[in-house]
Structures are given as structure tokens and as C-alpha cells.
Amino acid sequence: MMERDEHLREVLNHLLMMKNECSCSIFSECGLSDMTVKQIAYLKVIDEQGDVTFSRLAEITKNSKPTITEMVNRFVRMECVYREPCRDDGRILYIRLTDKGKKIAQAEQAALHRVIERMIDSLDEHELDLLIKILQKIG
């Protein structure tokens, strides 16, 4: 039983490493190698929220407005976000993702997609169907 556990751990670890390599590849395509997990999480929140203001982002992330302002300024310098005034009220600023910011925010999904493509390229139809059934059973 221990041998099987170790083999399964090894295979799953390899899959996770593949996904991480794909994520790193996406980040380096964006020219970013030193982005933190927290920064990526903030970009994901901005991506998910759509029309997000500084106040709303502070509320969601449980940070102060000055902290959010500092973070957004850093993201602007990294060319990940830009500020867009509200059409109806110029005092309101929305935080918007640039294409680069979107790519980073969606990197995990893109990395997962790359891993799935590798699986599709490596397995025949029967093996893919079996893999899907197995993953559904445990998920």
C-alpha cells in the first residue's frame, strides 16, 4: 500500500509541477518573475469584480485605502492596471486591468488549460474518458 501511495504522490506532484511551470512561463511572458501570490490575488479580484473602485477593493481585500492606493500605483508602474474615471461621476475612479494584468490574473486558468492540452496530446480517447471518470469520482 505504501508503494502505491508514494507512486500516487509522485504522479500528482509531477502534475502540480507541470502546472507551476506553465504559470511561471505565463508570468515570464509578461516580463514578471517577482510577482507575489498576494499581488496575483489582488489582480484576480479586480478581474472578477469588473467595475471596482479603490474603496470597494479595500473593502474586499480588508485593507486600508492608502494600502490599496500604494498597491494600485505599483500595478500602474508594472503596467498591469490603469485608472478610469466614472462617466457619471468624475470623482469616482475605477481600477481596470490592462491586457498584461488580465493575463496575469487569469494565469492559473491558462496554466491549467496548458496542462490539459498536454494530457489530451498524451492520452488516447479511452484513457481520457477513464481519467475523467476517475477525477469525477474523487472530486
Instruction: Find the CATH number of the domain harbouring 69.
Output: 1.10.10.10
Lowest mean pLDDT among 26-40, 65-79, 91-105: 26-40
- Please indicate, yes or no, whether the overall pTM of this predicted structure exceeds 0.85: no
Q: Evaluate if residue 14 carries a pLDDT over 90.
A: no
Return the pLDDT at 52. Answer: 94
Q: Are residues 62 and 42 in the same domain?
A: yes
The mean pLDDT value for 13-42 works out to 80
Q: Are residues 51 and 29 in the same domain?
A: no
Q: With CA atoms as reference, report the closest residue to 40 among 112, 114, 110, 108.
A: 108
CB 46 within 8 A of CB 97: yes
Q: Are residues 86 and 46 in the same domain?
A: yes
Q: Which domain holds residue 99?
A: 35-103
Q: Evaluate if residue 98 carries a pLDDT over 70.
A: yes
CB 26 within 8 A of CB 111: yes
Q: Are residues 99 and 130 in the same domain?
A: no
Q: Evaluate if residue 46 carries a pLDDT over 90.
A: yes
Q: With CA atoms as reference, report the closest residue to 80 among 110, 60, 100.
A: 100
Number of domains present in the structure of the chain: 2
Q: Are residues 98 and 39 in the same domain?
A: yes
Q: Are residues 29 and 43 in the same domain?
A: no
Q: What is the pLDDT of residues 82-91, one digit of tens each?
A: 999 998 888 8
Q: Are residues 40 and 29 in the same domain?
A: no
Q: Evaluate if residue 66 carries a pLDDT over 80.
A: yes
Q: Are residues 60 and 83 in the same domain?
A: yes
3-state SS, residue 139: coil
Q: Are residues 121 and 99 in the same domain?
A: no
Q: Are residues 23 and 72 in the same domain?
A: no
Q: Are residues 50 and 88 in the same domain?
A: yes
